[in-house]
Structure 1
Amino acid sequence: MAEQTLKEKTAKGLFWGSINGGIQQILNVVFGIFLARLLSPGDYGLIGMLGIFMGVATVLQDSGFSTALINRKGIKHEDYNSVFWFSFSVGLICYVILFFCAPLIADFFGHPELTNLSRVLFLWFLIGSTSIAHSAMMTKKLMVKERTKIEVSAMIASGIVGVVLAYKGYAYWGIAIQTVTNAFVGAVLRWYYVKWRPTFTFALRPLKEMCSFGVKILFTSIFAQINANIFAVLLGRFYKEDQVGYYTQGNKWMNMGYTFIWGMIGNVSLPVLSEVALDVKRQRQVFRKMLRFVSFISFPAMFGLALVAPELIVIGVSDKWLPCVPVMQLLCIWGAVTPINNLYIHVLLSQGKSNIYLYNTIALGVVQLLVVVSMLSLGIYYMVLAFVVVNVLWIFIWHYFVNKYVEISILDVAKDILSFCLISLIVLCITYFVTKLIFNIYMLFIAKVLLATFLYTFVMYLSGSVTFKESFTFLLKRK
């Protein structure tokens, strides 16, 4: 019965995660098309330059305690309460510091307009700090359906605000206000759906007990944010804002696909893996099943996105954004592999090995930075290529550590993921050559999508893929 319950919770989480990701990406596409047509690469570039500051501040206010809450056994009110007040206090302190540092940020990038822009945009993480404990509670309780309602509602409200402001000529302010609105609506709805409320008491004991785990997550997340935003910083410092804009736009479209895939499983994998952490054999089985499911979705989706990138960009946001296509295509390779890396990370976290997560992420960041900086003179394309190669190869490093605790061989992992990868590549190569003689861009886009989808589904059916059959059967039951 326990097994059935775990399977049912996981299946429901995956289902609502896919609904959430699907709706969000549809909205992302719709609002993204309007904004990209109304705004310039420079507008996106200015926002992109501030990404690293927002990311680091967000990590600081969380400090790894939300992950610690998800992993914690026998959790009580005072645990959530301590994390709430800690997160809000750090969020407020970070905002005040960055508010007064705004002129220095503007001087660093050489854009005076960043002073006022950053002061408004940084409200995003301050507002978000008021619902971190609520978000952790939703993840721990697998409230994926409620998260779907919250995130979709916040995206609709903020998207409308952003498009209206951009249409009225407010340029980059439209993106900034959109971001702040998203945080505000999301925070309000988390308070609505989660009935837990903080009290005016503060206990250090829960924070101390979670500190050894949380502080490692904190430093790891800081390095992860630096890694994720290193391009925007380097391009903003050494290139024009248009180059930052092209990178930001390409990364944004890639992220739509990646977010959809990881959104299905990301909110489910850590709680489920933590629940079976004491049973190594069972956890290994759960991990491999998740690995197959992610590979089944990730490789065809991300490689397919790279295939249709030229048509998607021209049709969606006009040919003024064509320079972002090569960057987007390279990043799609990274986007296909990253969900697999994330699953490895969640295994380590479920085993309480946040120290390995920390040291490994720092090592990845250092190697990544050295390689990318060495490519600085060659241009953005080679910088992104180096970034992708390092991150793809790093999967072997993650595997080395996970194997020590879950005892899973690299051959087993290869069996789980390589078939989906190779089939995706073959299907997309066939699609590329078959559709090569289609010159109408709209017909070409539709033909690529339909043919690739048909071929991949047909091959999965013929091969008797268990993952394909289970996914199809579950969808029929849901209907």
Structure 2
Amino acid sequence: MTLKQQTIQGVWWAGVAQGGRQACQVLITVLLAHLLSPRDFGLLGMTTVFTQFAMMVGELGMTGALIQRPAVREEHYASAFWLSVMVGVILMAIMTACSPAIARFYRTPDLQPILVAVSLSFVLQGGWVVQQAMLMRAMEFRSLAIRDIAAVCLSGIMGVAAAVLGWGVWSLVWQLLVHNAAMVWLSWSFTSWRPPWRISRQALRELSGFSAAAMGFNCVNYVSRNVDYLIIGRLLGATPLGLYTLAYKLMLLPIQNISWVIVKVLLPAFSKIQHDLESLRRNYTKVLQTVALVTLPMLGGLFVVAPEFIHVFFGPQWEGAILPFRLLACCGVAQSLTAIGGTIYQSQGRPDLQFKMGCANAALMALVILFSIRWGIVGVAAGSAIFTICWMPVSFVVASRLIQLPYVRIWRAILPAIGLTALLMMGLFAVKHTVHTSALSTLMLLGLFGITGYASLLVVMKHGRVALHV
């Protein structure tokens, strides 16, 4: 099978995985939103700021290092595996020791036992990151799709069952732990490799050059994406954080289903043609155009139907998430387009440059959030949107220079999608202000109109499909 065929097949299976996973997660979130309170979601959101950062550190950047490296030996896999497990144990101990201080930081004593329980996921993650890298390196995205969907379903069933039994926030904790346990079991089921009992210092040194910079970027990128959670939880409390968390999750739907799917496949594909700059330039702009054509209309449509969507699926108790979600949708436009640039940095072996960009982004984002928090979660969402949109051209400039791509070609790829999305949104608003029916009827009508308009855009811009010439 050629690289082009592998890449297209990889995008397909990654799309199936993401679509199936997101469909299950949306259904589970809707059910849990009716069974739990915004405060329950806010409590888990407080822990997530710290626990997901620790999991980012625990991954050590090994996934990208094992994928990008031209030749990988047995000792690379074994050393990366055992190091990940040991770091997971250390992080669990640190989180357990720090849990009282974190609970005091949030002024929420209920948080301490939740942090201790969730820290078990650090060790569980160490049991599947190397197997995931092996499957991604081999472009076995079908196996990854089955694993991801099954893990979400199993953990979702556990979470909903626990919520029905009245476990409150602990239903979300058990959902997280079951998800990581399922990831371990399924990852081992899809790989025949078993780690031998040895660690090679030489192998770790060979991986560390890439993995250290990649881990550094992942950490600062996580900080820039989650500093809002930290500040909202500390200054505003659990309930506003719960509303903001829902708004942010809804904004991420198109990005996770489109941009992140493609990024997952592009790293191994671009790494194989890392020295063919012309091919990289051509494929980068084509993928960027495709992402813009798909994600921008989706985000624009969600912006318009946000009130009806939240009222119908989540209920009136979540009304406070409507305006933050609309503002964050603008933030999502920039995030969906700049996510592709990460594959350029890593495929060119420049995670150090990506790390520097991430540090600048995280520092500036923190300042923006600290300034805008005075206006509540609406102010935070507005500040995030303005900053992210302003940062987007900077990200484009750096990525384009790395592969000697004329800057104008980037905007030539995305401007048609921006214009057509604006037309679609105007049409949706016109329909919305013409009809006066129930929220459900309005949502269905706008959905039908939006899908029809979306299909029309794809026909008009049919040259924007992914067609990798490698």
Q: For the superposition of Structure 1 and Structure 2, which TM-score range results when normalised by the shorter chain?
A: over 0.9
The corresponding residue for 1:219 is 216
- 1:275 equivalent among 258, 264, 272: 272
For the 8 Å contact 2:306–2:322, the answer to whether it is kept is: yes
The corresponding residue for 1:146 is 143
Cα distance in 1, alignment partners of residues 419 and 184 from structure 2: 42
- 2:450 equivalent among 452, 460, 468: 452
What one-letter code is carried by the residue in structure 1 that aligns with 2:341?
A: Y
What one-letter code is carried by the residue in structure 2 that aligns with 1:441?
A: A
**Is residue 237 of structure 2 the alignment partner of residue 240 of structure 1?**
yes
Which blocks of at least 5 consecutive residues in structure 1 are unaligned? 472-479
Cα distance in 1, alignment partners of residues 416 and 86 from structure 2: 48
For the 8 Å contact 1:18–1:263, the answer to whether it is kept is: no
Larger CA deviation: 108-117 vs 302-311: 302-311
- 1:104 equivalent among 101, 105, 117: 101
The corresponding residue for 1:440 is 438
**Is residue 293 of structure 2 the alignment partner of residue 296 of structure 1?**
yes
- 2:386 equivalent among 368, 385, 389: 389
> Cα distance 1:70–1:423, how it changes in 2: closer, same or farther (>3 A)?
same
Q: 1:62, CA displacement in angstroms?
A: 1.4
Cα distance in 2, alignment partners of residues 198 and 170 from structure 1: 37
Scaled by the length of structure 2, the TM-score of the pair is 0.96
Q: 1:256, CA displacement in angstroms?
A: 2.6
The number of residues matched between the two structures is 467
For the 8 Å contact 1:235–1:243, the answer to whether it is kept is: yes
Larger CA deviation: 127-136 vs 376-385: 376-385
- 2:225 equivalent among 214, 223, 228: 228
For the 8 Å contact 1:333–1:388, the answer to whether it is kept is: yes
Q: 1:379, CA displacement in angstroms?
A: 1.9
Q: 1:400, CA displacement in angstroms?
A: 2.0
- 1:56 equivalent among 53, 56, 62: 53
- 1:47 equivalent among 38, 44, 49: 44
Cα distance in 1, alignment partners of residues 248 and 379 from structure 2: 15
For the 8 Å contact 2:301–2:428, the answer to whether it is kept is: no
Cα distance in 1, alignment partners of residues 37 and 139 from structure 2: 40
**Is residue 67 of structure 2 the alignment partner of residue 70 of structure 1?**
yes
**Is residue 3 of structure 2 the alignment partner of residue 9 of structure 1?**
no
**Is residue 153 of structure 2 the alignment partner of residue 156 of structure 1?**
yes
Q: What SS class does the counterpart of residue 407 from structure 1 fall into?
A: coil
Cα distance in 2, alignment partners of residues 299 and 341 from structure 1: 13
The corresponding residue for 1:334 is 331
Q: 1:120, CA displacement in angstroms?
A: 0.9
Q: What SS class does the counterpart of residue 394 from structure 1 fall into?
A: helix
- 1:125 equivalent among 119, 122, 127: 122
The corresponding residue for 1:91 is 88
State the identity %: 24
For the 8 Å contact 1:63–1:218, the answer to whether it is kept is: yes
For the 8 Å contact 1:13–1:264, the answer to whether it is kept is: no
The corresponding residue for 1:476 is none
The corresponding residue for 2:196 is 199
Cα distance in 2, alignment partners of residues 138 and 149 from structure 1: 12
For the 8 Å contact 1:102–1:119, the answer to whether it is kept is: yes
Q: What SS class does the counterpart of residue 169 from structure 1 fall into?
A: coil
Q: 1:446, CA displacement in angstroms?
A: 0.9
Q: What is the aligned-residue RMSD (CA, Å)?
A: 1.6
Q: 1:51, CA displacement in angstroms?
A: 1.4
Q: 1:456, CA displacement in angstroms?
A: 2.5
For the 8 Å contact 1:60–1:218, the answer to whether it is kept is: yes
For the 8 Å contact 2:259–2:337, the answer to whether it is kept is: no
What one-letter code is carried by the residue in structure 2 that aligns with 1:448?
A: L
For the 8 Å contact 2:286–2:465, the answer to whether it is kept is: no
**Is residue 357 of structure 2 the alignment partner of residue 366 of structure 1?**
no
Cα distance in 1, alignment partners of residues 457 and 216 from structure 2: 44
The corresponding residue for 1:474 is none
> Cα distance 1:114–1:469, how it changes in 2: closer, same or farther (>3 A)?
closer
Cα distance in 1, alignment partners of residues 355 and 23 from structure 2: 34
Cα distance in 2, alignment partners of residues 85 and 464 from structure 1: 48
Moved over 6 A (4+): none
For the 8 Å contact 1:142–1:267, the answer to whether it is kept is: no
What one-letter code is carried by the residue in structure 2 that aligns with 1:466?
A: H
- 1:20 equivalent among 14, 17, 20: 17
For the 8 Å contact 1:10–1:268, the answer to whether it is kept is: yes
Q: 1:469, CA displacement in angstroms?
A: 9.4
Cα distance in 2, alignment partners of residues 198 and 343 from structure 1: 33
For the 8 Å contact 1:31–1:159, the answer to whether it is kept is: yes
Cα distance in 2, alignment partners of residues 9 and 338 from structure 1: 26
Q: 1:325, CA displacement in angstroms?
A: 1.1
Q: 1:65, CA displacement in angstroms?
A: 1.8
For the 8 Å contact 1:144–1:267, the answer to whether it is kept is: no
The corresponding residue for 1:475 is none
For the 8 Å contact 2:432–2:446, the answer to whether it is kept is: yes
Larger CA deviation: 371-380 vs 265-274: 371-380
Q: Deviations over 1:102-151 (max 9, x none)?
A: 11111111111111111111222221111110111111111111111001
For the 8 Å contact 1:158–1:182, the answer to whether it is kept is: yes
Cα distance in 1, alignment partners of residues 359 and 399 from structure 2: 17
Cα distance in 1, alignment partners of residues 223 and 467 from structure 2: 38
- 1:411 equivalent among 396, 408, 426: 408
For the 8 Å contact 2:118–2:176, the answer to whether it is kept is: yes
Q: 1:66, CA displacement in angstroms?
A: 1.4
**Is residue 420 of structure 2 the alignment partner of residue 423 of structure 1?**
yes
